Amino acid sequence: MRSSRVAGHDEIVAILGSQILSGELPPGSRLPTEEEMLARFGASRVLMREITKTLVAKGLAVAKTRVGTRVSPPEQWSYFDPDVLAWRVRLGFDHQFLEQLVQMRRAVEPAAAALAAEQRTGAHLAEMRKALAAMSDAGSDRRAFSDADLDFHIAVAVASGNPLFRSIASVIETALEAYFALSTPLQIASMEAAVASHTRIADAIEQRDGEAAARAMLAVIDEGPDRVRRQLLGLTKPAEPSIDEAANPSVVTCS
């Protein structure tokens, strides 16, 4: 039976992409045929072909003559594609994905901080200090604190002067937002400690001490994962949400 509503290109790609990433469409399995997708989504054959091309371009599928279009193995998925990463994040974190994200941050962000110590300008430092001030001023507003924290990390990437570091920061920005959201909410004292640890990064960058900047960044990256791991394991019971948090469950705090 044909769908009564015609879904758009982006919506269909997101649905099929999420099914691939979740394992609902496992590696090696055949993608739905044009006829099956036509019946499910009500879109034209031309659109279905474009959707298949999009999934192939994102590394999620491979088209072979006389074999059809099959789901690619995970090592071929393009996680640097913002859509792919966003879909994976929406599926939720697990231990493996958390570790992979931490590994990525440990490999990239300390190097960016060290380079920022060499390349930074006064304007770059001003952006970092602005983000630190926003973290300090956030008070109990955990969303504001999280946003400011992310702004700080982006400012460091920009200060590196290497556009590739900034591009990678853009790619992992979606994952970082979700990671920060998953982190166990911090108490005010812990938020103050987080500001202090981030300030050490900015201070080292200002002093053009690349080694110290890299060490300070690594320390910040390693602050949060243990809390998230405990939460994933159910070893830490989150505190009862405040009235504001109950009304806005997206209000969160990062590491």
Answer positive or negative: Cα dihedral of 199, 200, 204, 207: positive
User: At the topology level of CATH, where does 92-247 sit?
Assistant: Four Helix Bundle (Hemerythrin (Met), subunit A) (1.20.120)
| Top-confidence residue, 128 or 246 | 128
Does residue 224 have a pLDDT over 70?
no
Task: Dump pLDDT digits (tens) for 130-161.
Answer: 999 999 998 878 788 888 988 999 999 999 99
pLDDT of residue 5: 57
pLDDT the model gives residue 3 = 47
pLDDT attached to residue 80:
83
Averaging pLDDT over each range in 49-58, 77-86, 186-195, which range is the top one? 49-58
Higher pLDDT residue, 3 or 99?
Answer: 99
**Percentage of the chain modeled with pLDDT above 90:** 45
Is the confidence at residue 50, as pLDDT, over 70? yes
Q: Look up tokens 């006389």; give the residue.
A: 66
Within a 10 A sphere around the Cβ of 2, how many other Cβ atoms? 9
Q: Which part of the chain has CATH 1.20.120.530?
A: 92-247
Specify the domain boundaries for CATH 1.10.10.10 within the chain. Answer: 9-75
Is residue 40's pLDDT more than 90?
Answer: no
Count other C-beta atoms under 10 Å from residue 159's C-beta. 27
Residue 45 in tokens = 């054959």
| pLDDT at residue 195 greater than cutoff 90 | yes
Q: Looking at residue 178, what is its pLDDT?
A: 66
Q: What gap in Å lies between CA 27 and CA 8, rounded to an integer?
A: 25
Report the predicted TM-score, pTM, of the whole model to 2 decimal places: 0.71
Q: Nearest CA to 93 among 192, 251, 227, 187?
A: 227
**Under CATH, which architecture does the 9-75 domain have?**
Orthogonal Bundle (1.10)
d(CA 63, CA 71): 9
Tell me which of 27 and 99 has the higher pLDDT.
27
In the block, tokens 């770059």 appear at 124
pLDDT tens, 73-128? 999 999 888 889 889 888 877 778 878 888 888 999 999 999 999 999 999 999 99
